[in-house]
Amino acid sequence: MGERIEGFADQLRAGVSIAGPVLARLAPHRPRRTVLFGMGGSAIAGDLTRSIVDREGDSPLHVVRRYEPPAWLTPEDFMIFSSYSGQTEETIAAYRSLRYLGARSCVLTTGGTLARLAGDDDIPIAALPPGHPPRAALGYSFSTLVQIAAHLGLLAGGTERLEAAAEGVEEVASACGMGVLRSRNPAKRLAIRLAGRQVILLANERSLGPVAWRWKGQLNENSKHLAWVAPLPEMNHNEVDSYVHPQGLVGRLAAVLLRDPSDHPRVQARFRWLAAYLRRKGVQVDSVEAKGKDPMTRLMTCAAVGDYVSYYLALAHGTDPSALPGVESLKKALSR
């Protein structure tokens, strides 16, 4: 897993070639809406892309994580079905429900049932490189989606921005990589601080909200560690008053504040107040600031830091970051 995390920048550069066969078959006109269907590691790339489209685009991108597609879909929408394995049953169910709608579509996968169905229906397929856990293929999925979104007119500057993001991720690797000593490695030091504590990830929903969900998934899967997301400003209207009970739990929490320098000034004020407030409640507080001039770079660099933290926390636990015994057990039970 560590080597895959350190290959993140190279993955971000691969989207041009992966998306090429799809782009060659897609007319470059903007759809009314774009909807991505996916789960887990195959869906988070959609959330990260949506974060940029929400701020810059003229047409919305939605991410759907369930079996049933929304009722408002029409043939004027564009649909993306993302399943790294090609066997994600929720995504396949949505595909089967929508295959006769006649909307423009494409598929992101390494193969499996989803690729077979798409091949039968002559739907363009972006063939992701196989051999990775889905969560360790984020760079491939994200860069491919960015290329598709740019082609459709949802955002600008796909290739150039991905290169800048890859360079930013390489800077993260130089600071947080496996060969960097703990005394100089902020990811290793943060992992040690998080060990033994349930983790709350706080982020502005508009900027780094999807990155907080990425951190959560990586802590859950790689580290086998409990974590949850508290998005701002919403959590200020409810969750902020919950840090009282159970009294034995609150003092064993760790809050990680994911900060974007472009956050609304009032959100920045809320972060400052929260850091002091949570410390008074006995919560351990750390902050991670996303680096980079471009929002895409900040998303990727902050996600990369979280990947390293999750890996080092797994090592601190003595846990195999590649194994997913709970997920595999559930899949076996559902297959009976």
pLDDT tens per residue across span 17-73: 999 999 999 999 899 999 999 999 889 999 999 999 999 988 999 999 999 999 999
Say whether both 268 and 198 belong to one domain: yes
Residues 217, 305 share a domain: yes
Q: Residues 263, 310: one domain?
A: yes
Q: Clarify whether residues 43 and 137 are in a common domain.
A: yes
Cis peptide before 21 (omega within 30 of 0): no
The reported pLDDT for the residue numbered 149 is: 96
Distance of CA 299 to the CA centre of its chain: 9
**Summary count for the chain: helices (H), strands (E):** 14, 9
Q: Domain limits at 247? A: 181-317
* pLDDT, tens only, 104-124: 999 999 999 999 999 999 999
CA distance 254 to 230: 12
Q: For residue 19, what pLDDT is reported? A: 96
Residues 105 and 195 both lie in one domain: no
Q: Return the structure tokens found at 104.
A: 């423009």
Tell me: do 33 and 145 sit in the same domain: yes
227-233-234-238 Cα dihedral, nearest 10 degrees: 90
* Domain-embedded: residue 122: yes
Q: Is residue 163 part of a domain?
A: no
Q: Supply the mean pLDDT for the chain.
A: 96
On whether residue 332 sits in a domain, the answer given is: no
Tell whether 167 is covered by a domain.
no
Name the domain count of the chain: 2
- Identify the bridge partners of residue 78 per DSSP, sorted by sequence position: 34, 104
Residues 197 and 146 reside in one and the same domain: no
Identify whether residues 186 and 144 lie together within a single domain: no
Q: Do 277 and 253 form a contact (C-beta atoms < 8 A)?
A: no
Sheet holding 104-109, edge to edge: 61-64, 34-37, 78-82, 104-109, 125-127
111: domain CATH number? Answer: 3.40.50.10490
Give residue 201's Cα distance to chain centre. 14
* Pair 295, 199 in one domain: yes
Same domain, 117 and 16: yes
CB-based contact 306:218 (threshold 8 Å): yes
Q: Is residue 38 part of a domain?
A: yes
* Statement to judge: residues 37 and 152 lie in one domain: yes
Strand partners, 82: 108
One domain, residues 82 and 194: no
Query: Looking at residue 33, what DSSP letter applies?
Result: -
Alpha carbon distance 167, 147 (integer Å): 17
| Residue 322 maps to a domain | no
Mean pLDDT to the nearest integer, 176-185: 96
